[in-house]
Amino acid sequence: MNKEFVKRAAMLMLMLLPTLAFSQADPDDPQPQDFTQWNAMATNIALVCWAVGLLVALGYYVKLSTTKGSKEKYDFINKFEINSLWVAVIILIIGGCFFANSAITSLTPVMIGVRLFVTAAMGLIVAVIIQNLLKFYYPFYIEKRLKVLRYQPRISPKTGKAMKLLSEEEEDAYLDEGMQAEENVFSVDYDVWKDEETGYIQIEKYAGHLHALQCPECNYQTFKVVKEEIVKQPSETETGEIIKHYQCGYCGYKAKKSVILKQQTKVEQSTATA
Ligand SMILES: [Zn+2]
């Protein structure tokens, strides 16, 4: 349904924009005024905005492509991609608003109000549509790339050969108790890569609460851990239990998941890194 709405709104925009652009001349205007100065200024502001917007987006991609290492790239995309694109889009839209008002031939006080209103409304509609795309559709694309980056074989600095990603069971031997507790409690995932020739170990940390899952209700990539409560602390002899509360940022769907905590001796360590 949302998809349909976005499509329709986009179509409407495409139809309305040219109409607006060409409906400026009013032949009944009694006193012709000179708008060349304003038009030139509006054009220049539009061009500057577009240049800055493109530079923001370009700057992001240049920074990304010069970032070395799969894990570093992963973190960079996770942290900055959507926000950078969003900032670029806002600047581009502001440019568009000026451009739409850069060919004025006549203007009455009423028309000024109408123009301001229509320009702001159109700008907002475009912004909302793009924001929706970035928030709900774009994450699928990001997710695919993040997965590739996360599971791309790491190269051992010792031998230059590909290392092996250890399984959940195998990796426990290399994670200290604090890390293991953290894996349980804070939706943190550690990946352990091992160079089987030399025994060299590389540990990477992935923060689960920064990273959304696919919502079982609406299927958007907007399902996140919002709260975690420890029901029972694990002791040296007994396992513990934690309840993870998930909520969808799009449809609001909520779910609880109970996770058994392994027997642990030093759970307190885990609280240090949230
Ligand atoms: Zn949902």
pLDDT digits 0-9 by tens, 67-81: 988 999 999 998 899
Distance CA 184, CA 203 (A): 16
The pLDDT tens digits of the residues spanning 3-16 come to 666 667 666 666 56
Distance CA 240, CA 139 (A): 34
Distance 12 CA to ligand 1 centre (A): 27
Distance 136 CA to ligand 1 centre (A): 10
Distance 149 CA to ligand 1 centre (A): 26
Instruction: Please calculate the CA angle 46-52-55 and round it to the nearest 5 degrees.
Output: 140
Distance 139 CA to ligand 1 centre (A): 13
Distance 231 CA to ligand 1 centre (A): 26
Query: At 185, is the pLDDT very low, low, confident or very high (cuts 50, 70, 90)?
Result: low
Is the per-residue pLDDT at 266 higher than 50?
no
The pLDDT tens digits of the residues spanning 95-153 come to 999 999 998 888 888 989 999 999 999 999 999 999 999 988 898 899 899 999 999 99
Distance 70 CA to ligand 1 centre (A): 29
Distance 2 CA to ligand 1 centre (A): 12
Distance 220 CA to ligand 1 centre (A): 6
Question: DSSP label at 23?
Answer: -
Is the per-residue pLDDT at 273 higher than 50?
no
Distance 178 CA to ligand 1 centre (A): 33
Check residue 207 and give its pLDDT. Answer: 76
Is the per-residue pLDDT at 261 higher than 50?
yes
Distance 81 CA to ligand 1 centre (A): 22
Distance 138 CA to ligand 1 centre (A): 15
Q: Which distant-in-sequence residues (6+ apart) come within 8 Å of 56 by Cβ?
A: 84, 87, 88, 91
Check residue 107 and give its pLDDT. Answer: 83
Distance CA 190, CA 206 (A): 6
Is the per-residue pLDDT at 64 higher than 50?
yes
Distance 142 CA to ligand 1 centre (A): 18
Is the per-residue pLDDT at 37 higher than 70?
yes
Check residue 82 and give its pLDDT. Answer: 93
Distance 3 CA to ligand 1 centre (A): 14
Distance CA 178, CA 175 (A): 8
Instruction: Say which range, 1-10, 85-94, 153-162, has the weakest mean pLDDT.
Output: 1-10
| pTM beyond 0.75 | no
Query: At 20, is the pLDDT very low, low, confident or very high (cuts 50, 70, 90)?
Result: low
* Mean local confidence (pLDDT), 196-203: 89
